[in-house]
């Protein structure tokens, strides 16, 4: 087994400074900074100066209050042609424009967070405008602003691709960064991680991608890889747990606890601009999660409750018994068969919402049984048939939308 990094990941990039930068006016290398004693770039500026780098952990100019704002402008002349990465690690509100494109837009971050947009392709010797805006008003940790970049490094990606080409199986770990006090501004994986996955999958069809994320993300390369594992920020046992799944010591038995959108345009809040800074209105009412997708006819990438394993499960002969007296529970039952050859597998089932004349099967926390007693899902041996019977209290009927894809390219959890 070998390990080869193919990206610098999602940590803050090295500070952007030096010869590539030129201020809008004035001499030297850097960006022209204009400092305001107000939180929103209004009023008369306190001062202007050329800053060689934006790397501040405290108020950078004497006389500025704790809550201040600033704007920096200038040009960046690329030393080589290629894809450039940028990062902004900051607490507060901040924006970054490169080549007249708004690539970072974070309205607030109570604590320091790192924004990493997709790479920007630049040409050797051709200057592009660069602009940064910052306000410390939303920060509860004081001034914190660090703008970084990474020059094109095709050799790093090439080494990862070479390692993948000669491997029996390539496993790519990708990451998202989320935290307290800041909203996600999009669903795409930060930085150049999508490019890494595509490059590896192009040379090795047996590529497995492990998502180290806390929420759904866009996975445009889904049908180019053999499998995807969603690990959900697993903690200190991350390595052991993933190894057990990859080597088949444990058969994946989890199910998605959320609906996984196919694009950023799905769901009740489909743009960062939809989020309110001071007041958030939940105008969707009860149409939360899969209910919104069902009511609006949106087809998600994966429905709530989806999950694959190394074997197959079949459910049949679903039946429902009516309660004899008001308040009695509905009874449900079905035949459960696992025809796959893998030695063990687990399936979770629940009928949380059944009323006379209707029936459904979905996922959730049962009111009784092993899961309610904090027991692990029961592993069924191969080719064994079991009859299951469940009793549930009456509840309003809600039907999850979508279907379970059977093409083997789904999310294993």
DSSP string, 173-234: EEE----TTB--S-SSPSTTHHHHHHHHHHH-SSEEEEEE-SS----TTGGGSSEEEE--S-
**Residue 7 burial by CB count (10 A; 0-12/13-18/19+): exposed, middle or buried?**
buried
Domain 21-152 has CATH 2.60.120.380: yes
290, with CB counted inside 10 A (0-12, 13-18, 19+), is buried
For tokens 């590896």, name the residue: 200
Q: Are strands 113-115 and 82-91 parallel, antiparallel or unpaired?
A: antiparallel
pLDDT at residue 398, rounded to an integer: 30
The stretches in the chain having pLDDT less than 50 are 348-413
Residue with tokens 């307290």: 180
Would you state the pLDDT for residue 366?
A: 33
The three-class DSSP label of residue 155 is helix
Nearest to 245 by CA among 263, 260, 232: 232
| Spatial CB neighbours of 401, under 8 Å, sequence gap ≥ 6 | 290, 293, 294, 298, 299, 300, 303
Which residue shows structure tokens 């035949």? Answer: 335
The pLDDT, as a whole number, for residue 45 is 97
Q: Which region holds residue 141: left if phi is over 0, alpha if psi is between -120 and 50, else beta? A: alpha
According to the model, what pLDDT value does residue 182 have?
74
DSSP code at position 99: T
């Amino acid at each position: 087994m070998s390990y080869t990094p193919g990206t610098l990941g999602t940590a803050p990039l090295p500070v952007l400074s030096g010869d590539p930068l030129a201020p809008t006016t004035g001499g030297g290398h850097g960006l022209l900074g204009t400092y305001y004693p107000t939180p929103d770039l209004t009023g008369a500026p306190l001062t202007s100066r050329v800053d060689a780098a934006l790397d501040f952990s405290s108020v950078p100019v004497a006389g500025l209050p704790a809550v201040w704002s600033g704007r920096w402008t200038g040009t960046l002349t690329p030393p080589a042609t290629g894809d450039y990465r940028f990062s902004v690690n900051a607490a507060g509100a901040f924006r970054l424009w490169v080549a007249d494109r708004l690539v970072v837009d974070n309205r607030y971050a109570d604590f320091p967070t790192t924004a990493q947009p997709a790479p920007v392709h630049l040409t050797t010797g051709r200057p592009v405008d660069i602009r940064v805006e910052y306000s410390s008003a939303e920060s509860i940790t004081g001034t914190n602003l660090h703008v970084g970049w990474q020059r094109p490094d095709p050799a790093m990606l090439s080494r990862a691709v070479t390692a993948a080409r000669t491997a029996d199986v390539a496993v790519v770990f990708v990451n998202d960064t989320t935290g307290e006090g800041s909203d996600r501004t999009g669903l795409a994986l930060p930085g150049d991680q999508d490019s890494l996955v595509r490059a590896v999958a192009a040379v090795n069809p047996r590529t497995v991608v492990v998502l180290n994320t806390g929420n759904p993300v866009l996975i445009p390369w889904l049908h180019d890889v053999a499998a995807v594992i969603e690990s959900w920020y697993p903690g200190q046992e991350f390595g052991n747990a993933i190894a057990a799944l990859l080597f088949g010591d444990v058969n994946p038995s989890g199910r998605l606890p959320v609906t996984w959108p196919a694009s950023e345009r799905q769901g009740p809040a489909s743009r960062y601009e939809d989020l309110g800074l001071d007041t958030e209105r939940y105008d969707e009412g009860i149409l939360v999660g899969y209910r919104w997708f069902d009511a609006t006819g949106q087809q998600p990438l994966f429905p709530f409750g989806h999950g694959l394993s190394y074997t197959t499960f079949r459910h049949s002969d679903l039946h429902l018994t009516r309660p004899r007296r008001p308040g009695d529970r509905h009874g449900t039952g079905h035949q459960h068969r696992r025809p796959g050859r893998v030695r063990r597998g687990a399936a979770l089932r629940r009928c949380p919402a059944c009323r006379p004349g209707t029936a459904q099967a979905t996922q959730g926390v049962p009111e009784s049984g092993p899961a309610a007693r904090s027991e692990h899902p029961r592993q069924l041996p191969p080719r064994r048939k079991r009859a299951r019977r469940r009793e549930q209290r009456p509840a309003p009927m809600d039907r999850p939308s979508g279907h379970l894809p059977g093409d083997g390219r789904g999310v294993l959890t």
